[in-house]
Chain A
Amino acid sequence: MRSIICLVLLVSSTALADSGSAAGSGSAPAGSSAGSGVPSAGAGSGSAPAAGADTPSAPIPIPGPPPPVEPNPAARKACVEAMNGDPAFADRIVKTAEVQLHDKLMAVQVTKDVCTLRDHGDSQADVAKNKKHVLMAYIAMWLVAAGFVMFLWRKQQALKVEIANLRRDLDAATKDPK
């Protein structure tokens, strides 16, 4: 169960990681022109969480939903011009974008690591606390032992009865003629 949740988490977080390009171009009907633009530019431009249709329903503990890409040719053009005009502004924009991208990638990595660790822990606990087979072995041993003892006991009882009967018959037979 837990591994399934992990899997969902992992899938969703990786989907989020490249939603800048893939999800944006696929689902957003508004801007059909520059879906293939640099994702950092899109990420830097806005942070309004417009309900992305591509995120699965599972609860996501990783920081923040991704800013949806809303390519606006005019704004984009203005931004590019501003960046070209002022290198300091361009620097700031790129830095912000890098920090955001880094945070996002880190979130994915942490999710992966957590899942791996949980899987390891799960299987270790499974093996360490696996009482099923030990119990089975002990039960098997007891069943065989009990079966053998029963076999011995019944055999001895039957033999005792038979010996007693034979003795009695023999005694009776040897006494009669006298």
Chain B
Amino acid sequence: MSRYAAPLFALLGAIGFAVTIWMIFTDTPLQFSWQPNERHVVLATGSGSLFFNQKIFFWHVPHAIMLFLAVGVAGVSSIGFLTKRNPKWDDVALASVEVAVAFGAVTLLTGMIWAKAAWGHWWIWEKRLTMSLLLWMTLVGYTIVRRFAGASGERIAAAMAVFAMIGVPFIYTMVGAGDNHPQAGSEGNVATLNADMRPAFWSSMVTFLCWFLALVITRVQSARMQREVRELREKGLDAGVLE
């Protein structure tokens, strides 16, 4: 990981952002019907269509997917940390959890605004929303533990990240049980997305992947710096410079 990686990804993200915004507002059809099926219409305004509000989709979904990706990265590197005891893994886990908190905040906020536009309420206690909020709270709990649990906080937080990762599939299980969350298709996958929207969607995905990588790399670098500070402090204590 060279020192140019983060700026490079940030630059790619910026270019991708411009391209994506152009595609979203010029190349995608305005009206996107969520197939007014019985699941969605129950809570929607009745038309089953979101018109201009659907543009939020291109931000909301990539952020949600990046949130899950970040949770996955955090979980895997936490497993690495717990087995190998190498602090490098812990840096990656901490970085991706913090980035996941940011991406999760965007996911929840854009989702809430969308809900206001489509359903008329800022929040609905529907299973997927609740579970996403819970996942986000687990991640916030992770940062709280890192901050207040002292020396054993690293291990406890790592276990939290692993459990959070295990919990993600259950979020998808819950969607099966009488859920009203809009799906891109009957199976909720991208393959059933309107063909004219796919280029913009994938462009958005790549953009936010770059953005995600830039943030994680930067955060890993500052985690290393934190570690360096700690080591220098210890050295300073040994040398008698600090008390």
Indicate if A touches B (C-beta under 8 A): yes
- B114 in contact (CB, < 8 A): yes
Measured between beta carbons, the chain A residues less than 8 angstroms from B45 are 127
B218 in the interface (beta carbon within 8 A):
yes
**Given known A144-B106, A170-B239, contact A138–B232 (CB-CB < 8 A):** no
Q: CA A123 – CA B197 in complex, angstroms?
A: 25
B113: A residues at CB distance < 8 A: 133, 136-137, 140
A173 to B240 CA separation, bound complex (whole angstroms): 8
Q: How many residues does chain B have at the interface if contact means C-beta atoms less than 8 Å apart?
A: 42
Question: Which bucket holds chain A's interface residue count?
Answer: 20 to 34
B15 to chain A, nearest CB (A): 16
Those of B36-95 within 8 Å (CB) of chain A = 45, 47, 49-53, 55-56, 59-60, 63
* A51 part of interface (Cβ distance < 8 Å): no
B109 at the interface (CB under 8 A from A): yes
CB pair B52–A166 under 8 Å, yes or no, is: no
Q: Does B18 contact A (CB under 8 A)?
A: no
- B30's nearest neighbour on chain A, judged by CB, is A128
Taking a contact as CB atoms under 8 Å apart, the answer to whether A145 and B56 are in contact is: no
Are A163 and B229 in contact (CB-based, < 8 A)? yes
Across the interface, A137 reaches (CB within 8 A) one of B30, B105, B109, B226, namely B109
Cβ of A169 within 8 Å of any chain B Cβ, yes or no, is yes
5 shortest interchain CB distances as A-B pairs: A133-B117, A166-B232, A140-B109, A159-B225, A148-B102
